[in-house]
Amino acid sequence: MQRKVASNLVWMLVERGLQVGAGIGIVAMLARGLGPEGFAHFQYAQAVVYIASSIALICGGEVVIPRLVANQNSLAQHRLVVHAFRLRLAAGILGYLLMCAFLVVTGQTIEFWLPALIIGLAVVLREPFGIVTAWLQAHTRTRPNTLFNLASLSVKAAGVALLFALGIHHVPSYALAFSLEPVVMAIFLTTYYLARAPRARVTYEPAMVRELFSNGLLFWASFMLMMGSRRIDQLLLKPLVPLGELGAYAASMQILDNFVMVATILSAGVAPIYVYAQPTLAQARRNILKISGGMMAVGVAGGIAIALSAHWIIHLLYGSAFASAASLLQLSALASTLIFADVGLTLLPIYLRRPRLVAIKWALVFIVTIVIDLIAIPRLGVYGAILGYAVANLLSVLFGIAIWIQSARGRPAVQEACA
């Protein structure tokens, strides 16, 4: 069993590593192919879609996987998968419609809403069909999902590379290339699951839907607040700064998105053994402190390296048209180091099985980000957004430290919560 778990972990880490590398290459081709203003159009559309996709995160793996593991009956699992799919699909359609409403209410021009409508297909496809991913994880089968992800990512990368090689500068064309990824992934997952699922008709059970919805409500709120706080800055920047500055800011943040993904890779690699498997809270707290410190060290080293080589990175990936992004990357890279400590500290509320704490944290971060951005962006422009980014990261770390300290002071109550 340990060998199987280790093999699954290796496949997951390989997938994440290749995603990071491919993501950097794809963004570089996008930026060079579209230029600063076209890149701003594309990134704004992606930001809108990113926030809208959080609505489809209802009934996540945190709710589904434990139930699938607890009941190994194939018919019972199939019934659960179908109900979770329907719930996610309804949420995905709602997210897409709300995205369309936002674009209409804010009066976006065709340069912004057309790419959003195309890329937005992922809102309806990614999470609903991703229920098969949860089913695979419950059966400790990571390899098929990894291969499907890499295949669909390859299709997207090939599409972007072809457009770039042909010298095409049309934003919707690149949006179509991006939309291929969730379509291909949905086809792979559906084909794989239907070939192994029972051939039984599933009748609708309102009680199960209500249970899945209520049990995943806090996780759902947490994900929406988290994803909103990570992209709301670009929505607020768009009407207040020139498109070229928005494109430069988005370019620097794209690099950091790939950098901070290392934190989730490290966390996923060490948490199962060194945190979740620990029998006592005291040992888990000690390990979490060590993990957070080690991850912070990695983040500081990486952030400083990126800051020192920011001009070279921007020139290599994006070209001279994005030269102004170098100074933005230097500051935001230093601010991103805090995310590594935050990811490590977040392991504690997960270990305690207290999603309410995670939801509270992201609610605070979301509110603070909006307040600081609304005050700072009109005065400082894109540097105001970096200030909001830095303060939000600092607040997340301080919240995590407070939980870590409080877990020691209120140990009996916390241990009861873990039981």
> Torsion angle of alpha carbons 376, 377, 381, 382, nearest 10°?
100
- pLDDT on residue 354: 85
Q: What is the Cα–Cα distance from 268 to 270, expressed in whole angstroms?
A: 6
Q: Which of 197, 339, 203 is nearest to 266 (CA)?
A: 339
Domain that holds residue 331: 242-419
| 246 and 369 within one domain | yes
251, part of any domain: yes
220, part of any domain: no
Residue 419 pLDDT exceeds 50: no
Give the chain's radius of gyration (CA, Å).
21
252, part of any domain: yes
Give the residue from 167, 197, 215 where a domain finishes. Answer: 215
| 198 and 316 within one domain | no
| 203 and 252 within one domain | no
- Mean residue pLDDT across the chain: 89
| 394 and 305 within one domain | yes
| 4 and 134 within one domain | yes
* Percent of residues, the chain, with pLDDT higher than 70: 94
Q: Which of 44, 18, 23 is nearest to 317 (CA)?
A: 23
| 47 and 89 within one domain | yes
| 23 and 106 within one domain | yes
352, part of any domain: yes
Residue type at 392 in one-letter notation: A
| 384 and 246 within one domain | yes
| 257 and 132 within one domain | no
Instruction: Report pLDDT digits (tens) over 377-409.
Output: 999 999 999 999 999 999 999 999 999 999 877
Q: Which of 184, 178, 196, 194 is nearest to 148 (CA)?
A: 184
Place of tokens 């390296």: 305
Instruction: Report pLDDT digits (tens) over 66-102.
Output: 888 888 888 999 999 999 999 999 999 999 999 999 9
Q: What is the DSSP annotation of 313-348?
A: HHHHHT-GGGTTHHHHHHHHHHHHHHHHHHHHHTHH
Its pTM stands at 0.86
What's the half-sphere exposure (Cβ side, CA atoms, 13 Å) at 370?
Answer: 10
| 297 and 252 within one domain | yes
Instruction: Report pLDDT digits (tens) over 303-316.
Output: 999 999 999 999 99
Contact 243, 252 (CB under 8 A): no
Place of tokens 């409403």: 101
Per the structure, the count of domains in the chain is: 2
Residue 3 corresponds to which tokens in the numbers above? 């060998």
| 259 and 363 within one domain | yes
154, part of any domain: yes
Q: What is the Cα–Cα distance from 285 to 408, expressed in whole angstroms?
A: 8
| 270 and 211 within one domain | no
